[in-house]
Amino acid sequence: MKKFTLIIGIYCAFISAQTMAESVILNPYQVLNVQTGQLDKTQIMISNGKITRMGANLEKNSTDAKVINLPGITLMPGLMDAHVHLMGNTELKGYAGIGQSSQLATIYGVKNAENTLLAGFTTVRDVGAGSFSDVALKDAINNGVVIGPTLFVSGPALGITGGHCDSNLLPHEYNHQSEGVVNSPWEARKQVRKNRKFGADLIKFCATGGVLSKNTDVNAKQFTLEEMQAIVDEAHNHGMRVAAHAHGLEGIRTAIIAGVDSIEHSSFIDEATIQLAKERGTSLAMDVYVSDYILGEGAAKGILEESLAKERTVGKIQRQNFKKAVEAGANLVFGTDAGIFPHGKNARQFKYMVDWGMTPLQAIQSATIRTAELFDMKTTGAIRENFTADIIGVTGNPLEDITLLENVDFVMKNGKIVKQ
């Protein structure tokens, strides 16, 4: 409680200080250029949430700016995660979480969003939440009611009856299904329109079965090509990007052909389909950390044995195919499936990405400039003049030790310091 109070106190104090002072100058040990990997000795001036100048001795010409000294700190862009689930209590899985209301899930989401931001993730994409609770959380963050990352949200994920994005735990007499269940191209278009109406930024649908859903096969395709094309066409018509959950190869290929913007998980992808993704400009978000958490902690959290058995097959194959995707030069973005594991631990994935073929710089690029491209954020994801001042800092050099990103020392979002 004392730590929480201290963090919020620091946050409020710096908001007050930065309101009075138009500009802030960050004076770190060095700054990582994520495009080149170069470590620069430079200061950063921030005004009105933007990086306005970079260079040495900026305070000499800006005597009214507040200088924040950060000795020993390497600054870099705020991190991004393309696949999180902020709503709900991460400690409750399977039947243990079935009695949780959407209202309670949203309240947990507030804390989860805060933990995510304090871990250095200044922008995340929430892919699948009931009752448009993700929209409510996004609005609360944008209105300054609570603190959290910049959010892109999907609302209820689309899925087929009995599929991964349906609710399959209750017997038939309850006649219960998830909000996004659709079973034809026109039903799919209607749901896309509904999600957009109520505030979704993107559309997520389930193209195959999943690990954590009851009675679904990870290799089984869900939705026909015509249904997937209807989802993508309707979403793109409204300027919305589309993410497809897909483990099995046929579902991955069909979703890419349908025109989705990203494939989530991509577990059983093969070399030919990696090339197809490159040709079509499809990003791959491969959550190569979460398997260890599921198999290590899942049973105690209530994950079904059926799901654990599926993960024992999926996890290693996914990592092997991740390595193939790295070697082939696929556009790999950073997506963790946080919410399966506790929020704020997203950066654990960096080590796994490096262990399975990426350089530290490539792993960092996946969570900055690559994911920024997927999000269509043209002035975020790098430390450059006229870019949004989403900046984090660690003690030491993350290019030499990628695990430093698991414990960030400094977080700034939109020019406001939230952790120091």
Q: Catalytic residues, which ones?
A: 204, 337
Coil, strand or helix at 348:
helix
Q: Which residue has the tokens 């931001």?
A: 117
Q: Alpha carbon of 396 to those of 32, 39, 355: distances in Å?
A: 11, 12, 20
Taking CB atoms within 8 Å and a gap of at least 24, the contacts of 373-381 are 373/283, 373/331, 374/82, 374/241, 374/261, 374/262, 374/283, 374/333, 375/80, 375/82, 375/123, 375/125, 375/152, 375/241, 376/241, 377/123, 380/77, 380/78, 380/123, 381/34, 381/77, 381/80
Angle formed by the axes of helices 102-118 and 133-142, nearest 10°: 50
Q: How far is CA 129 from the centre of its chain?
A: 14
- Report which residue type is found at 40: D
Question: DSSP assignment, residue 367?
Answer: I
Cα separation of 285 and 89, whole Å?
A: 23
Q: In this structure, are residues 191 and 180 in contact, taking their beta carbons and an 8 Å threshold?
A: yes
Could you give the angle at the alpha carbon of 195 between the alpha carbons of 222 and 202, nearest 5°?
Answer: 75
Q: DSSP per residue over 49-94, as a string?
A: TEEEEEES-GGGG-TTSEEEEEEEEEEEEPEEEEEE--SS-TT--G
Neighbours of 16 (CB within 10 A): 10
Beta strands in 120-257 (DSSP E): 121-126, 150-153, 202-206, 241-246
DSSP element (H, E) containing 5: helix 2-20
